[in-house]
Amino acid sequence: MQQEDNAIPGPAETPPGPEGVHDHEEAEAREASPRRGLSRRGLFAGAAGSVVAGALLGAGGTAAAYSAGRADTASDEADAVDLSAAVPFYDQGHQAGIVTPPQRYATFMTFDLADSATTTDLQVLLARWTAAIGQMVQGLPIGVVEPSRPDAVGVDTGEAVGLNPASLTVTVGLGPGVFDDRFGLASKRPALLADLERIPGDRLDPALSGGDLSVQACADDPQVAYHAVRNLARMVTTTAQTRWVVMGFGRASAGAGQQTPRNLFGFKDGTRNVTGEAEHDRFVWLDDAGWMAGGTYQVVRKIRMTIESWDADRVSDQQSVFGRTKDEGAPLGGAAEFDTPDFVRTDDSGTPVIDPLSHIALAAPENNAGVKILRRSYNYTDGLNAQGLLDAGLLFVSYQNDPAHFVTLQHKLGRFDLLNEYIQHIGSAVFAVPPGPARGGYIGQALFA
Amino acid sequence: MLRKRRSLLGLSIATALTVGMTACSAPATAPSAAGSGSDDAAPVSNGAAQVAITLSNDGGDTCTLDHASAAAGPVTFTVTNASSTAITEVELQSDLKIIGEKENLAPGLPSSSFTVTLSGGTYTVYCPGGQPETQQFTVTGEAAAAPTGSAAQVLTAGTTEYAAWVVTQAEDLQTAVSTLRKAVDAGDLDAAKTAYVRARPFYEKIESDVEGFVLSGYAVDDNSGNLDYLIDMRASSLDDKVGWSGFHAVERSLYKDQRITDETKGYAAGLETNVGRLVTLVKALTYKPEDLANGAASLLEEVQANKITGEEEEFSHIDLVDFASNLEGAKQAFACLQPGLEKIDPELTAEVAAQFASVDKALAPYEDSTAAGGYIPWTAANRATHAKGLSQTVLALQQPLQRIAEKVATAN
């Protein structure tokens, strides 16, 4: 939703990640339930994913509504999912789950380190999490599910047994609290890591904000993602306590080769996302940052949408708010999604075609000194609120080599964005994401050297 | 809330009453391979034979010993996880009993070690998740030292102490329930409330030992013969065929209706009768060490499921009194296991003790000497503010506590 116009369109070189992991929400929605319990390996063997997705679309009887009017035939094939795909974890330089093409589902949890936690406890937590992630991304349990001793407790909780890796990635972040005076790590604090300042428009709930550790688990099977977070939480209850969690049910950002998905407002999100290795190096990864080199900063915002009000708004106003057409996603005044927005053009009366306070105008890099951030958001729902209204929105997740880039953009958006009538930022957190582990090592190991 | 259904043929047949029917069964694993180490005996330094165990992943997860044998006496096993993500613990077993172990092993962490004094014989190194999982380790020579009382003996002594303590609690429960019945019979609402609050802790402390009994002549699925139902049913477990009964039926009269009726008197009398039956049963109970461990874990489940949620004491809101009592019962069970557990796993013992202290500390701020039972009423407003912190702290205790049963069940 944020910084709608913030990247260069179109497929580019594929970042590290699984081949053939792509997306098509309608296909998924229809075949997800019956598939459970079957061997998904059988349904989605190897590279046959695109064929299967096509068959499912046919069987379902409805074409993907949001691709109506779109001439991009490659996208339907590309958005099929191969659940047997696994994303490499060790020896990648960076952690997975950042430039990995977004999987369909996410479980995002944060943790507070316990008052009693020691530096060694933190070290063991990171090492055990890393080893467990190394297991789970291969589709393997983290330990015995059914112990041979009757009085023993299982190491792995078991609900992912028999499920494929589903391109699981688990990305671990360290919050500002890790570097306070508790663990003797103040001298290792990543240079730009600090609690985000208050931003205009924030209506943050402390219970939905902050945390000493973040775990972002993304997978093409929601049970695989949930299993990962559940088991990581379970193994560290003496060291870390859960703080908040959001379950994302639909990706709201596109990676290379994926068609642009939609947020719950029904608009395409991420048309101009950061794409390609050159942009990743420029906008996402830290370089010359000591032990954090190869890492990045993660900003998370829980953004509640007032969905019923939005749905009652006339489409012309919705389009003015975003600055794009709803179906095609073209910038107003343009014809196609990936047309470059023209922020100067006016109509006959002299009114700008794209409202300067529209979401895309405020967020566009050309209006922000070229600043871009990589967005990797998910739609979420928490059911119904106390008024019986839909309680849902966007779990906004961005990666950037300086959290100030997010802050700068959000300062503008928070004050002026026409979308603010329909959204509230209710949760916020920032984390340093260390570089990826080498085999035999663990995430954040340099902290304890 | 795990219910152990125990069907009794008759209340007089006391010998049928052992808690937890599973025998001390051993794992089905057996040494499946000779040791991976060289046949040379491990070299001795620092007064102990030194054996290095390396966990690694080179396609498969392996567990490698540098020496597969040692001379009798102290042996130090130093475990290094080079690159195995599947293997997180290593155990040394003798006849399938754990005699030494290292847990929380992960690649990148420093090596860790344990030292055990071994007599001549064949041992097993068990690496769950490794290929193979078990390997032989041979010790040559005589026993170097005889232990002064095995872990199993010490644990058994602890269970005897625990059994005696449970009986004292049950007898105190009986006295307190009689007081409650008298106050109800006298129609004295305030006295009855006081007596209710005083009686509850005795039940809650031993709850894990006294649940699941079925009276003679009743089917296991008939709540009218289920002592646990008759004494401690709640609105959420109401069986319409049997109706309200026991503590919470009395509680509902005293706190919700705020009056004592003939019906209340019937509830109180029934409670007294059923508690009397319970005391008879409890006196005949014997326990295995794992029963104490599982019982303590079960009490903490009770805390999580029914006390912190405010479900147990829906009308009186003395849930924190029950919480403290469940906790005390769990601590008592742990304390009885502690001397034996120290011999098996001193690290786990220390961790559990520390987490008990942490829960004590978390509960302490809610003490209120002016409130009934000594804790603040667990109202919805108080739960909204304080429940999460308490729940997370209890969770941190539950995790290490759950690992005790396996250890003490295999002790020798």
pLDDT digits (tens, 9 = 90+) for A358-417: 999 999 999 999 999 999 999 999 999 999 999 999 999 999 999 999 999 999 999 999
**Per the CB < 8 Å rule, is A130 touching B108?**
yes
Considering only CB atoms, which chain B residues are within 8 Å of A131? 81, 84-85, 88, 106-107
pLDDT score of B143: 61
Helix (H, G, I), strand (E, B) or coil at A133: helix
Q: Along the 412 residues of chain B, how does pLDDT read in single tens digits?
A: 334 444 443 333 333 333 332 222 223 334 445 556 677 899 998 888 999 999 999 889 999 999 999 999 889 999 999 999 999 999 998 877 778 888 889 999 999 888 888 899 999 999 999 988 999 999 998 764 544 568 888 999 999 999 999 999 999 999 999 999 999 999 999 999 999 999 999 999 999 988 878 888 998 889 999 999 999 999 988 999 999 999 999 999 999 999 999 999 999 999 999 999 999 999 999 999 999 999 999 999 999 999 999 999 999 999 999 999 999 999 999 999 999 999 888 999 999 999 999 999 999 999 999 999 999 999 999 999 999 999 999 999 998 999 898 888 877 6
Rounded CA-CA distance B335/B358 in Å is: 16
Give the gap in angstroms from C-alpha B406 to the nearest C-alpha of chain A: 5
Nearest by Cα to A193 from A290, A106, A304, A312: A290
Q: CB under 8 Å to A333, separation ≥6 — which residues?
A: A341, A342, A345, A353, A354
Q: CB under 8 Å to A30, separation ≥6 — which residues?
A: A56, A59, A60
Can you tell me which residue has the tokens 């749905």? A311
pLDDT score of B150: 81
Give the gap in angstroms from C-alpha A113 to the nearest C-alpha of chain B: 11
Token representation of residue B131: 């290929």
**Per the CB < 8 Å rule, is A148 touching B106?**
no
Considering only CB atoms, which chain A residues are within 8 Å of B83? 439-440
Considering only CB atoms, which chain B residues are within 8 Å of A114? 396
Q: Which of A135, A237, A442 sits opposite B395 (nearest CB)?
A: A237
Nearest CA in chain B to A125: B104
Which residue spans within A67-129 are E strands per DSSP? Answer: 105-113
Considering only CB atoms, which chain A residues are within 8 Å of B108? 127, 130, 437, 440-442, 445
**Per the CB < 8 Å rule, is B410 touching A144?**
no
pLDDT score of A56: 37
Alpha-carbon distances, residue B174 vs A14, B279, B302 (angstroms): 73, 7, 22
Sort B259 into a burial class: Cβ within 10 Å, 0-12 / 13-18 / 19+: exposed
Rounded CA-CA distance A110/A214 in Å is: 4
**Per the CB < 8 Å rule, is B82 touching A440?**
yes
Give the gap in angstroms from C-alpha B262 to the nearest C-alpha of chain A: 41
Q: What percent of chain A has pLDDT over 70?
A: 82
How do strand B48-57 and strand B6-7 relate by DSSP bridges? unpaired
Alpha-carbon distances, residue B377 vs B30, B154, B238, B308, B391 (angstroms): 54, 41, 24, 12, 17
pLDDT score of A53: 36
Considering only CB atoms, which chain B residues are within 8 Å of A439? 57, 83, 107
Q: Which of A114, A150, A237 sits opposite B22 (nearest CB)?
A: A150
Hey, which residues 265-294 in chain B have their CB within 8 Å of chain A? Answer: 290, 293-294
**Per the CB < 8 Å rule, is B294 touching A151?**
yes
Nearest CA in chain B to A437: B108
Rounded CA-CA distance A99/A160 in Å is: 25
Considering only CB atoms, which chain B residues are within 8 Å of A445? 108
Considering only CB atoms, which chain B residues are within 8 Å of A240? none
Rounded CA-CA distance B249/B246 in Å is: 5
Chain A residues at the B interface, defined by Cβ less than 8 Å, are 114, 116, 123-124, 127-128, 130-132, 134-135, 140, 142-144, 147-153, 155, 234, 237-238, 241-242, 437, 439-442, 445
**Per the CB < 8 Å rule, is B107 touching A140?**
no
**Per the CB < 8 Å rule, is B109 touching A123?**
yes
Sort B46 into a burial class: Cβ within 10 Å, 0-12 / 13-18 / 19+: exposed
Q: pTM for this structure?
A: 0.81
Considering only CB atoms, which chain A residues are within 8 Å of B294? 151
Hey, which residues 100-159 in chain B have their CB within 8 Å of chain A? Answer: 104, 106-109, 128-129
Considering only CB atoms, which chain A residues are within 8 Å of B86? 135, 140, 143
How do strand A240-251 and strand A378-384 relate by DSSP bridges? antiparallel
Considering only CB atoms, which chain A residues are within 8 Å of B395? 237, 241
Considering only CB atoms, which chain B residues are within 8 Å of A234? 399
Q: Which of A45-59, A155-169, B175-189, B245-259 has the lowest mean pLDDT?
A: A45-59
**Per the CB < 8 Å rule, is B106 touching A127?**
yes
Considering only CB atoms, which chain B residues are within 8 Å of A447? none
Q: Is B28 in the A-facing interface, judged by CB distances under 8 Å?
A: yes
Length, in residues, of chain B: 412
Which homologous superfamily does the CATH classification assign to the domain defined by B38-140? Cupredoxins -  blue copper proteins (2.60.40.420)
Nearest CA in chain A to B83: A440
Considering only CB atoms, which chain A residues are within 8 Å of B354? 116
Considering only CB atoms, which chain B residues are within 8 Å of A148? 27-29
Q: Which of A148, A234, A439 sits opposite B83 (nearest CB)?
A: A439
pLDDT score of A327: 95
Rounded CA-CA distance B221/B231 in Å is: 16
**Is the pLDDT at A252 greater than 90, yes or no?**
no
Q: Which of A122, A149, A168, A443 to mutate to test the interface with B (most CBs of B within 10 A)?
A: A149
In this structure, CATH architecture of domain B152-409: Up-down Bundle (1.20)
**Is the pLDDT at A21 greater than 80, yes or no?**
no
pLDDT score of A27: 38
Q: How many CB pairs under 8 A join A and B?
A: 98
Q: CB under 8 Å to B117, separation ≥6 — which residues?
A: B73, B74, B75, B144, B145
Residue ranges per structural domain of chain A:
25-448
Length, in residues, of chain A: 449
Q: CB under 8 Å to B86, separation ≥6 — which residues?
A: A135, A140, A143, B57, B61, B129, B130
**Per the CB < 8 Å rule, is A241 touching B85?**
no
Q: Looking at per-residue confidence, does A96 or B102 come out higher?
A: A96
Give yes or no on whether B38-140 and B152-409 have one common fold.
no
Q: What are the backbone dihedrals phi and psi of residue A303, each rounded to the nearest 5 degrees, phi first?
A: -115, 110
Say if CB B61 and CB B129 are below 8 A apart: yes
Q: Which of A132, A151, A242 sits opposite B406 (nearest CB)?
A: A151
Q: Looking at per-residue confidence, does A161 or A10 come out higher?
A: A161
Hey, which residues 348-387 in chain B have their CB within 8 Å of chain A? Answer: 351, 354-355, 358
Q: Which of B107, B395, B410 sits opposite A131 (nearest CB)?
A: B107
Say if CB A242 and CB A231 are below 8 A apart: no
pLDDT score of A331: 97
Rounded CA-CA distance B208/B329 in Å is: 9
**Per the CB < 8 Å rule, is A437 touching B108?**
yes
Q: Which of B84, B85, B394, B412 to mutate to test the interface with A (most CBs of A within 10 A)?
A: B85
pLDDT score of B148: 56
Output the average pLDDT for chain A: 85
Mean pLDDT, residues A345-351: 94
For residue A4, what pLDDT band results from cuts at 50, 70 and 90? very low
Considering only CB atoms, which chain A residues are within 8 Å of B350? none
Considering only CB atoms, which chain B residues are within 8 Å of A441? 107-108
Nearest CA in chain A to B110: A124
User: What secondary structure does DSSP assign to A211-272, as a single string?
Assistant: -SEEEEEEESSHHHHHHHHHHHHHTTTTTEEEEEEEEEEEE-S--TTSPP-B-TTS-B--TT
For residue A17, what pLDDT band results from cuts at 50, 70 and 90? very low
Residue ranges per structural domain of chain B:
38-140, 152-409
Rounded CA-CA distance A445/A118 in Å is: 15
**Per the CB < 8 Å rule, is B354 touching A442?**
no
Give the gap in angstroms from C-alpha B28 to the nearest C-alpha of chain A: 6
Mean pLDDT, residues A88-111: 97
**Nearest-5° angle of CA A316, CA A321, CA A324?**
70
| Three-class SS of chain B | CCCCCEECCCCCCHHHCECCCCCCCCCCCCCCCCCCCEEEECCEECCEEEEEEEEEECCCEEEEECEEEEECEEEEEEEEECCCCCCCCEEEEECCEEEEEECCCCCCCCCEEEEEEECCEEEEEECCCCCCCEEEEEEECCCCCCCCCCHHHHHHHHHHHHHHHHHHHHHHHHHHHHHHHHHHHCCCHHHHHHHHHHHHHHHHHCHHHHCCEECCCCCCCCHHHEHHHHHHCCHHHCCCCCCCCHHHHHHHHHHHHCCCCHHHHHHHHHHHHHHHHHHHHHCCCECCHHHHHHHHHHHHHHHHHHHCCCCCCCCCCCHHHHHHHHHHHHHHHHHHHHHHHHHHCHHHHHHHHHHHHHHHHHHHHHECCCCHHHECCCCHHHHHHHHHHHHHHHHHHHHHHCCHHHHHHCCC
Which residue type is seen at A71? A
For residue A308, what pLDDT band results from cuts at 50, 70 and 90? very high
ipTM here: 0.77
